[in-house]
Amino acid sequence: MRQLLKTDVSEFRRLLDWTAEMTTHANIPTTAAAIADGVRSGALKAVDVLEAHLAQIAAREGDIHAFNLVTADEARAAAARVDADVAAGRDPGVLAGVPIALKDNMCTRGIPTTCSSKILEGWRPPYDATVVQRLAAAGAVAIGKTNLDEFAMGSSTENSAFGVTFNPRDISRVSGGSSGGSAAAVAAGFSPISIGSDTGGSIRQPAALCGVVGVKPTYGTVSRYGLVAYASSLDQMGPFSTDVRDSALVLEAISGHDPMDSTSIPQAPLSLQHVLSQGVEGLRVGRITDMPSGADPDVTARLEAAFDALTAAGAKIVDVEMPSMKYALTAYYLIAPAEASSNLARYDGVRYGLRVNATDTNAMYSATRTAGFGEEVKRRIMLGTYALSAGYYDAYYGKALKVRRLISDDFARAYAKADVLLTPTSPIVAFPVGEKSDDPLAMYLCDIYTIPTNLAGHPAMSVPFGTGAHGLPVGVQILAPTLGEQVMFKVAASLERSMIAAGGAK
Amino acid sequence: MTAADSKTQGSEIQYDMSKNEIKVAPNDGSYLLDGYELVCGLEVHVELATATKLFSASANRFGDDPNTHIDPVTLGLPGALPVLNRQAVELAMRIGLALNCKVQPSTFHRKNYFYPDMPKAYQISQYDQPINVDGWLELPGGKSIGVERAHLEEDTGKSTHIGGTGGRIHGSDYSLIDFNRAGVPLVEIVGRPDIASPEEARQYVTELRQILVAVGASDAKMEEGSMRCDANVSVRKPGAPLGIRCEIKNVNSVRSLGRAIEYEARRQIVLLEAGEKIRQETRHWDETDGRTHTLRSKEDADDYRYFLEPDLVPLNPDQAWIDAVRAALPMLPRERRLRLSQATGAPADGEAIMVVVERGQDDYVMSVGEAGADVARALVHVKEAFAEQGANPTVPAADLAQMIIMETGGKLTSTQAKTVLAEIVANGGGDAVAIAAAKGFEAMDNSALEAIVDQVIAEQAEAWSKYCGGEQKAMGALVGAIMKASQGKADGKAVTALLLAKKG
Amino acid sequence: MSESPSERISAEVVVKVSRLARLDVTPDEVQRITTQMAGMLEHFADIDALDLSDIEPMTQPYPLSNVFREDVVVTGLDREEVLANAPAAEDGRFRVPPIVGLDG
């Protein structure tokens, strides 16, 4: 069955023409699983795999701008080490030789980590994030740091201080955000897998807009140590990939308890690959009947097709209600900026990053932060500071925490009736660059289906499921209860098989 | 005043004196300054004696090269996360239980403000759910001072100011920051405003320090900064509502604390007598000119925007842990004083017991008693001769016991005893019998003494008849003659007893 | 009985918030930010209608408690590597302009 899946995926790709632009060398596989198998067995050299991907970057990065920094030299050294390990008979790791792109908000020792902000331009962390360490230990080859909305605040990567990332499917359009660079890198074939972070949808939404798989795991399953914090009680890191299996592989490698993160769940790494072939016979898939409307018809059409596909595969569709879901946006845009306003206070010019000099320290703080932060970041800091202020705390932050409880309770009731829920990931397909940048509220609405999951701390993932308007990718979102990654991936694998069997939708 | 009120004010838990909600221990009227009562509450910050910092594994050490105990968490680097030090919790619980607090489930909050020695621009502290609440500390004289709370928080780094006068901020050209101290675990002990005099304040801090050292929580040295004391001071006429309080900072010794409180009380009284109002503010104690001064007031008071720390999880020590900590608490100073008082009959808050317990020599005194000597004499001798000895005297208890047994058995006069003791102390021990013999101190047994007394009575017939007739003064001449005749070997008490007996 | 957007937040509050956050704002920016924030807060007023009196705030997505670290020293960062990345350093310490106008 696994063999079938691998072959079918390449077939699938040819049919869908998703990676028609890719000019990879003929004998380099396109999935992480296949590359790792090849490198581990000695059939492939990690350095060859790397060069193929660097060539792809050279060919198309100019149009896409997925990266803030391509770390070719470091990658070559890492790939050489992997090959040396294989030659010496040492275990090179489950991701041996697989190029991986890292969102530029996770700390990579000695490599600039900018969060796409002027305030951290050129800053080299003196330590690696736990996820970065685990990927290296698994033999993955970090190929570069990808672009993002500044400090992960945004849904289009247009808030980057270093320029937007264009959608590989249509370079007049956005890649989504905030992990636009990581999504685009995979969609453009720059690396088979990448890592992003998701606070309100920042992995899932760009995955949907770029037509790749994107996963936000249960809060606490992947360590946040070394992830530059945006909203501490909402942030999680997760993978992008071209197929479901690769995301499972990456999550197995990076998840599991980390003593450096107090919010890390004390359990073993997730075990996911074995469920992919299990099918959805008898599974209850929830349709949220009172979901906020606003999705474009081309998007809802694909959602219906997904419900049909799961029914055909033996799942049962059940109706659930989530009456508090419509308040999720409000709760999020009070909680996240509040936490962010505190998390970003450390950027003060004293110990690292940008400093704009002044006659005294207090003036230096203001001069530095005013020059170093972009407009959206400032907006959220102001909103968050306000929501926490004396006299306003109860009305705003305090209330939002209670709304969060209501949403969590809604999910609990829904998951008593359903094993997973299915929604669109994004209400719209990729929009033109500049279309929403004057209206922050319109931009916030991009996350309307993804935000509730972060508030509850549950896992969710976006799976590409055909195309919508202008032939642009549409993603459907599978939501699962806390630590429900296995059932979530089961459903994802089923949808993927349906897409393949259907020969892909136009 | 509820926590919600505190949040609304955007300030720390404060005593809102104007609301008269604070219960203050009644002043027994024994301390009045120009007719005013003093109302004082102390906030004491204590550096815990852990190996590592509160939220990261860098060493908790004082005095090393700057910025040699740093890590991503200490420096507030992007992506760093705090993880709570178990030993800091253990020590915090020891402090709380030693102060009779209730140990309860607690949480951590962020206190947000900007200052260069604050690496994250927020301090992780405990706000409305602290680990220890509702305790008390008993002063040696028996008065109880309430302890509202004792909570955990992290310390800041240290700034040095270059270019100004005397290292002050004012007029400096720039400052240098060392983060070695940033993240060191602190317990903040908030006392209720039950202190009614500068002397009580001194006693409170002295007793607190002994408790902290006894439970191993801290070395609590004010001069080194491992114990820092701020005083909240107000005054009022007896029976009147509570007055406006001021907070005094920068007190660096127990003695300064007393002086600062007294100065501040007098300053407030002068103002009130002149019909002026006290402005609620923070004031800085200046040791050199002996006054408190207004700290530069700012345009905007900081709003700390407290909220629950999302990077940490609740702290809920189970009953087994709490019980284990309580059971392992050593005997505290108050109990030691009581024990010694019961054994010796001396007052628990008298000078001898206070001094000996503070030196940590009470166990030693008890063991001298266990070696067969009179504990009351042991107390006196240790108090007088063991000032330099420290908590573990070098003199074996048995040696001191032997000397005391000779003394109380009449084989040494008290003067001779002191001399023998001095030699024992100087040599770190010694055989009292041998030393006494070497110095020619001999026992004068009672029959030999009685013979001398009879002889002197015979020789001093006139003095004797005067003494028998009721003239106490005549005894002096008799005793002097007896001493001379015995070459100083007679014990004064024994002589007096014999004379009395013979008088009939 | 909802307030109009302009009543939800005033320019004066925006200035105070910007000071707390250490962000300089020009008078024009104050106006623009006030309007924008008022608009957002108007949107967020949807939760005003909810009766939340019996609801417990949710602060933790996953219920953990008592997470500790043992009291054992682990080698930290190299001072030179850290100071090399600092905006200004002297004598092994971080250098800043005079610290005035701050409450330490």
- Residue A235 contacts residue A216 (beta carbons within 8 Å): no
Q: Is C14 on the interface with A (CB under 8 A)?
A: yes
Residue of A155, A160, A202, A341 marked active site = A202
- Residue B502 contacts residue B488 (beta carbons within 8 Å): no
CA angle A402, A407, A413 (to 5 degrees): 125
Could you tell me the residue ranges of all domains in chain A? 2-289+295-321+409-501, 325-406
Which chains are within 8 Å of A by 3+ CB pairs? B, C
- Residue A352 contacts residue C86 (beta carbons within 8 Å): yes
Residue of C nearest to B302 (CA): C20
Of B11, B77, B114, the CB nearest to A345: B114
> What percent of chain B has pLDDT above 90?
67
Q: Is A348 on the interface with C (CB under 8 A)?
A: yes
Of B10, B116, B311, the CB nearest to A232: B311
In 3D space, the residue among B82, B312, B78 whose CA is nearest the CA of residue A263 turns out to be B312
- Residue A492 contacts residue A244 (beta carbons within 8 Å): yes
Distance between CA A27 and CA A296 in Å, rounded? Answer: 40
Q: Is C29 on the interface with A (CB under 8 A)?
A: no
CA angle B276, B267, B260 (to 5 degrees): 150
Query: Whole-model pTM?
Result: 0.89
Q: And the tokens for B56?
A: 């990261």
SS3 state at B19: helix
A361 and C99 in contact by Cβ < 8 A? yes
Model confidence over B443-474: pLDDT tens digits? 567 778 888 888 888 888 888 888 888 888 88
Phi and psi of B43, rounded to 5°?
-110, 120
Residues 6+ apart with CB under 8 A from B4: A394
How big is chain A, counted in residues?
A: 506
Enumerate residues 32 to 51 of chain B having a beta carbon within 8 A of any beta carbon in chain C.
50-51
Q: Is B86 on the interface with C (CB under 8 A)?
A: yes
The mean pLDDT value for A457-484 works out to 97
Q: Is B177 on the interface with C (CB under 8 A)?
A: yes
Q: Check residue A211 and give left, alpha or beta (phi > 0: left; psi -120 to 50: alpha).
A: left
B176 and C94 in contact by Cβ < 8 A? yes
In 3D space, the residue among B438, B435, B429 whose CA is nearest the CA of residue B406 turns out to be B435
pLDDT at B10: 29
B115 and C104 in contact by Cβ < 8 A? yes
CATH 3.90.1300.10 for domain A2-289+295-321+409-501: yes
B303 and A390 in contact by Cβ < 8 A? yes
ipTM: 0.94
pLDDT at B27: 64
Distance between CA A264 and CA A299 in Å, rounded? Answer: 35
Q: Which residues of B touch A225 (CB under 8 A)?
A: 79-81
Q: What band does B76 get if pLDDT is binned at 50, 70 and 90? A: very high
Could you tell me the residue ranges of all domains in chain B? 14-325, 331-438, 446-503
Q: Position of tokens 């074995």?
A: A274
**Structural domains of chain C, ranges and CATH numbers in brackets:** 1-48 (1.10.20)
C91 and B117 in contact by Cβ < 8 A? no
Residues 6+ apart with CB under 8 A from B493: none
What distances in angstroms separate CA A421 from CA A294, A301, A313, A406, A473, one per listed residue? 18, 17, 16, 18, 21
Please state, rounded to an integer, the average pLDDT across all residues of chain B.
Answer: 89
What distances in angstroms separate CA A6 from CA A145, A236, A500, one per listed residue? 28, 29, 11
Model confidence over A414-447: pLDDT tens digits? 999 999 999 999 999 999 999 998 888 889 999 9
pLDDT at B29: 61
Distance between CA A354 and CA A161 in Å, rounded? Answer: 14
pLDDT at B471: 86
Q: Which residues of A touch C2 (CB under 8 A)?
A: none
Query: Which parts of chain C register pLDDT below 70?
Result: 1-7, 103-104
Q: Position of tokens 């672009």?
A: A147
Q: What band does B11 get if pLDDT is binned at 50, 70 and 90? A: very low
Of C60, C67, C93, the CB nearest to B84: C67
A107 and B78 in contact by Cβ < 8 A? yes
Q: How far is A146 from chain B (nearest CA, A)?
A: 17
Q: How far apart are the first and last CA of chain A?
A: 26
Catalytic residue flag (residue A178): yes
Q: How far is C22 from chain B (nearest CA, A)?
A: 9
Q: Is C43 on the interface with A (CB under 8 A)?
A: yes
Strand arrangement, sheet containing B307-308: B122-125, B109-112, B307-308
Model confidence over A85-133: pLDDT tens digits? 999 999 999 999 999 999 999 999 999 999 999 999 999 999 999 999 9
Model confidence over C41-67: pLDDT tens digits? 998 889 988 889 999 999 999 999 999
> What percent of chain B has pLDDT above 70?
92
Catalytic residue flag (residue A437): no
The H-or-E segment that residue B465 falls in is helix B461-468
Question: What per-residue string of b and e applies to A244-264 under the rule 16 or more CB within 10 Å gives b?
Answer: bbbbbbbbbbbbbebebbbbb
β-sheet bridge partners, residue B145: B137
Burial of B114 (0-12, 13-18, 19+ CB in 10 A): buried
Of A360, A381, A396, the CB nearest to C23: A381
Residue of B nearest to A384 (CA): B305
B8 and A391 in contact by Cβ < 8 A? yes
Q: Is the pLDDT of residue B254 over 60?
A: yes
pLDDT at B7: 33
- Inter-chain Cβ pairs, chain B and chain C, closer than 8 A: 134
pLDDT at B473: 83
SS3 state at A345: helix
Q: Is the pLDDT of residue A37 over 50?
A: yes
Residue with more model confidence, B68 or A440: B68
Enumerate residues 344 to 373 of chain A having a beta carbon within 8 A of any beta carbon in chain B.
345-346, 348, 350-352, 361-362, 365
Q: What band does B487 get if pLDDT is binned at 50, 70 and 90? A: confident
Residues 6+ apart with CB under 8 A from B87: B50, B51, B52, C70, C71
Residue of B nearest to A265 (CA): B313
DSSP 8-state assignment for residue A232: T
C44 and A382 in contact by Cβ < 8 A? no
Model confidence over A134-158: pLDDT tens digits? 999 999 999 999 999 999 999 999 9
pLDDT at B452: 87
> Dihedral sign, CA of A385, A390, A394, A398?
positive
Distance between CA A378 and CA A390 in Å, rounded? Answer: 20
Which chains are within 8 Å of B by 3+ CB pairs? A, C
Enumerate residues 150 to 209 of chain B having a beta carbon within 8 A of any beta carbon in chain A.
175, 177
Q: Which residues of A touch B303 (CB under 8 A)?
A: 389-390
Model confidence over A385-423: pLDDT tens digits? 999 998 888 889 999 999 999 999 999 999 999 999 999
Pairing of strands A236-241, A193-198: antiparallel
Q: How far is A244 from chain B (nearest CA, A)?
A: 28
Q: How far is C4 from chain A (nearest CA, A)?
A: 16
Please state, rounded to an integer, the average pLDDT across all residues of chain A.
Answer: 94
Burial of B177 (0-12, 13-18, 19+ CB in 10 A): buried
Residue of C nearest to B77 (CA): C82
The mean pLDDT value for A467-477 works out to 97
Catalytic residue flag (residue A103): yes
Q: Is C54 on the interface with A (CB under 8 A)?
A: no
In 3D space, the residue among A162, A85, A175 whose CA is nearest the CA of residue A432 turns out to be A175
Q: What band does B494 get if pLDDT is binned at 50, 70 and 90? A: confident
DSSP 8-state assignment for residue A222: B
- Inter-chain Cβ pairs, chain A and chain B, closer than 8 A: 108
Q: Is B317 on the interface with C (CB under 8 A)?
A: yes
Q: And the tokens for C35?
A: 């309007």
Model confidence over B154-174: pLDDT tens digits? 999 999 999 988 787 878 899
**Domain covering B446-503 in this structure, CATH number:** 1.10.10
DSSP track, B199-228: HHHHHHHHHHHHHHHHTTS----GGGTSEE
Candidate ranges A457-471, B377-391, B400-414; pick with highest mean pLDDT: A457-471
How big is chain B, counted in residues?
A: 504
C100 and A360 in contact by Cβ < 8 A? yes
Sequence-ordered alpha helix ranges (H) in B166-314: 198-214, 254-273
Q: Is the pLDDT of residue B95 over 90?
A: yes
Of B87, B177, B314, the CB nearest to C93: B177
